[in-house]
Amino acid sequence: MERKRRSSRRRRLAEPSSFSSQINRSLESTYSGANSRISSFSERITRDTISNRSRADSRLSSFSDRITNDTRSTVSSAYSRISSLSYASRLNKDIISVASTSSHGSAYAWSRRLNSCLRSHASTHTSIY
C-alpha cells in the first residue's frame, strides 16, 4: 500500500514537470516560428527595397542619359546652324567682293573667281543646312 502511494505521488510530481516541459516546447516552437517569419519578412523587405532602389537608379540613369543626349543634340544642332549662318555670311561677302571687283572685267573672269571662291568655301565646310 505504501508503495502504491509513493508511485502515485511520483506520478503526480512527474506530471507538472511533463506539463512544464510541454509548455516550454510549445513556447520554443512558437518563438522559433515567429523568428522564422520575422526573418523571412525582413529578408523580403530588404530584397524589395534593393530591387526598388535598383529600379529607381536605373530610371534616373536613363533619364539623365536622355537629358544629356538631348542637350548634346540641341547644342550640336545650334552650333551647326550658327556655323552655316557664318558660312553663308562669309560666302555672301566673298560673292559681293568678287562681283564688285569683276564689274569691269569679262564674264569669264568673274565666273572663274566666283568658282574659286565657292570651291574654297566647299572645302572648309563639307555639310551645309
Whole-model pTM: value is 0.30
What pLDDT, on the 0 to 100 scale, is given for residue 129? 39
Model pLDDT for residues 55-72, shown as the tens digit of each residue = 887 877 888 788 887 887
Regions of the chain where pLDDT drops below 70: 1-17, 98-108, 110, 121-129
Strand stretches in the chain, DSSP E? none
CA angle 56, 57, 61 (to 5 degrees): 120
Strands (DSSP E) contained in 24-113 are: none
* C-alpha cell of residue 33: 516560428
Chain centroid to CA 56: 8
Cell 505521488: give the residue. 9
* Average pLDDT over all residues of the chain: 72
- Summarised one tens digit per residue, pLDDT across range 36-45 is 777 788 888 8
C-alpha cell at position 36: 522564422
